[in-house]
Amino acid sequence: MRNSNYLKKLFFFCFALLWASSSWAHAEEQTFYSISYHDVVDSRDQLTSDTVTIDTLINHFEWLKANDYHPISVDDLLAAQRGTKKLPAKAVLLSWDDGYVSFYTHVLPLLKAYKYPAVLALVGEWLSASPNERVEYGATTLARSRFLSWEQIQEISASNLVELASHSYGLHKEIIADAYGSKIPAAIAHQYEVATGQKETDKEMRQRIYDDLKKNSYLIAKYTGKKPRVMVWPFGNYNTLCQNVAADLGMKIALTLDDLPQANISQLNAVPRYYPVANPLTEILREEMLVSQSQPLRRFIIAPTEEIIDTTDPKEPLYSAFLDRDKSLKPSAVVLAPLVQTPRGKEALFTNQTYPLFLNKLTRLSWYTRARTGVATVLSLDAPLFKADSPQKLTRLFSDMGKNSFVDGLIVENHAAVEEILAGTTKPIKITGNEIKRPWNPNSSRKFRQQLLSKKPTNTLLRGVEAFQQWQPFLDIGVIISPAQMKERSLAKTASLLTYFDYIIIDARTDEQQKCLKAWLARPESRPLFNYIAVLFSYDQESDNGERLAERLLDLSGYGIKNWGYQIDSAVLAKPLLEKIRPAISVRNFPIIAR
């Protein structure tokens, strides 16, 4: 009898273990699409950048239906995450931001007709305004009447098709983030108090975010009887502090505007969404829904950061010239440095406890470069930055850097740390014939870095980048290696870096490195990596007007390589000449639109 009971217990234990492990894998692998709509209008003459016409929306719904896409609810997502229910094939989460009255007049009748569930994100401050008021909406104002009434919201909630989400109470705006008056989205910026000349602390920022989200949750619950389970970040911007606050308030699902075609059940706290702009035709929706997670086009320039900083003139003529040049060149990204070289040595562009402060301008340079030019901003982190007296000081330095900059990506260079990563990697990249199957997914790269960091807590590169990403979770990260390093190791070993980084940058800034690069490119076995590398050249301002540099860059396309950049691009000297270098560096000249 005792043996029989023991065998029964063992059977049920093994069954439970098998069920739990299969449920975890089940949740881990499930993906879904997500779309972020805003306002819906009757005719094309009413269109703004983020609106669609009712005819376009109907066409989108018809296309989803005809192609077997299945709109899902928040309950479906949570059940799939628990492993108690599987998502349907081609699952798609439909969402509407801002709470326009058109959701009641145009969208809700369609949802009822198609029996589609959806998420509606509400901004409490706008809903609390009096009927005749205007509300602050970005850089403009809108009439309160453009937004839903609480009676309409109650009817929408009663439909049982719509999940009401928080879009914050009063964070859907920008706040002053530095002494230069730079305005940054309120959810991700440490607020600068002009009267005192001080920025809020992390603790004060957390309390501000907490009070705001709690106020909005209370407001929605007051009128509907339901606290929101979903947070939709204003402008799609968020950080780890924000994520933790939302989760503490019961909103463990959060929607962003991260640029990924699909979301994963295992990461419901940062759901990427496709953001339809300019009233997209069904063909464009199709392209966005079916796009593979392929590598984005990367054509980048490294700017001498010291050259673009105006130390005395408030009109910032140097920075303005830099912005004008970026707009004219239109690379995919411009690379800046967080430190500058002065007669006194290296000094920082952000407040920290490691380097002396030159000017606190990293916030302004990183945010406004992207905002004013449409060119992505990338931060270059070289090896000396990763040297610190202790792991704690390293973490603090990179955390300070992360909270004071707002970028789209990082370029890291730390050969010793990279060698340590390669020595400890257990995540090989699959190579089939001449092809590497590695979808572009910065969230996945970060997850594997975090796992490796838990095993190698002293790796300075992993530790520094993770501290930075507490403030900027979604970043496209490239790692610089030399051609000699690639030549010395197998293709599989080099490719394993793609587990932890989104792309590899081959350093070809010296003549010797260029010779090694040519030899490596000529090897047939190197070809599978070509889609995942970028080549970095130097530019000689003294002997080249840009023509030779452009030739070297464009020669790479003969090998099948399409990603490259150069150091340096000078706005002050206007070198290289725009007409010479633009065909080689501008994404406008490439037939594929960059991400």
> Could you tell me which of 528, 581, 530 has the C-alpha nearest to residue 553?
581
Strand-pair partners of 583: none
Strands (E), 358-399: 376-381
- β-bridge mates for residue 339, sequence order: 348
Question: Where does the chain hold its CATH 3.20.20.80 domain(s)?
Answer: 299-589
Mean predicted confidence (pLDDT) in 465-475: 98
Q: Summarize pLDDT for 532-543 with one digit per residue, the tens.
A: 999 999 999 999
The CATH number for 23-290, chosen from 3.20.20.370, 3.20.20.140, 3.30.1360.120, 3.40.50.9100, is 3.20.20.370
Q: Taking 90 as the threshold, does the pLDDT of residue 2 lie above it?
A: no
pLDDT tens digits for range 157-166: 999 999 999 9
Residue tagged 């989108």 (tokens):
60
Check pLDDT > 60 for residue 582: yes
Per the DSSP assignment, residues forming a β-bridge with 432 are 435
Choose between 138 and 376: higher pLDDT.
376
Question: Does residue 27 carry a pLDDT above 70?
Answer: no
Residue 199 burial (C-beta neighbours within 10 Å; 0-12, 13-18, 19+): buried
pLDDT band for position 22 (cuts 50, 70, 90):
very low
Percent of the chain exceeding pLDDT 90 equals 81
Spatial contact of 254 and 246, defined as CB atoms under 8 Å apart: yes
Q: Identity (one letter) of the amino acid at 201?
A: T
* Secondary structure (H, E, C), 319-344: HHHHHHHHHHHCCCEEEECCEEEECC
> Residues 259-291: pLDDT tens digits?
988 999 999 999 999 999 889 998 888 888 776
Give me the pLDDT at residue 48, please: 85
User: Mean pLDDT, to the nearest integer, of 100-111?
Assistant: 98
Distances (CA, A) of 285 to 60, 275, 276, 372, 575: 7, 10, 8, 27, 40
Average of per-residue pLDDT across 353-379: 96
What pLDDT shows up at residue 493?
A: 87
The chain-wide mean pLDDT, for the chain, equals 91
Q: Which contacts qualify for 443-451: CB closer than 8 Å, 24 or more apart?
A: 443/258, 443/260, 443/264, 443/267, 443/270, 443/473, 443/474, 445/477, 445/499, 445/500, 445/501, 445/502, 446/473, 446/475, 448/499, 448/500, 449/500
What burial letters (b/e) apply to 317-346, b meaning 16+ CB within 10 Å?
ebbebbbebbeebbbbbbbbbbbbeeeeeb
So what's the pLDDT on residue 15? 42
Bridging pattern class, strands 299-302 and 230-232: unpaired
DSSP secondary structure, 123-142, as one string: -HHHHTS-TT-EEEETTEEE
pTM of the predicted model as reported, rounded to 2 decimal places: 0.92
60: left (phi over 0), alpha (psi -120 to 50) or beta: alpha
Domain with CATH 3.20.20.370 in the chain: 23-290
Above 70 in pLDDT, residue 497? yes
In the block, which residue shows the tokens 């995942």?
532
CATH architecture designation of domain 299-589: Alpha-Beta Barrel (3.20)
The answer to whether residues 334 and 369 touch, using CB atoms and an 8 Å cutoff, is yes
The one-letter amino acid at 522 = A
- For β-strands 263-264 and 230-232, DSSP reports them as unpaired
Rounded distance between C-alpha atoms, residue 181 and residue 185, angstroms: 13
Place of tokens 């300075």: 460
Rounded-to-integer distance, Cα 262 and Cα 476, Å: 16
pLDDT in tens, 503-526: 999 999 999 999 999 999 998 888
Given this model, what pLDDT does residue 427 score?
A: 66
DSSP, collapsed to helix, strand or coil, labels residue 106 as helix
pLDDT, tens digit, for every residue of 47-85? 888 899 999 999 999 999 999 999 999 999 999 999 999
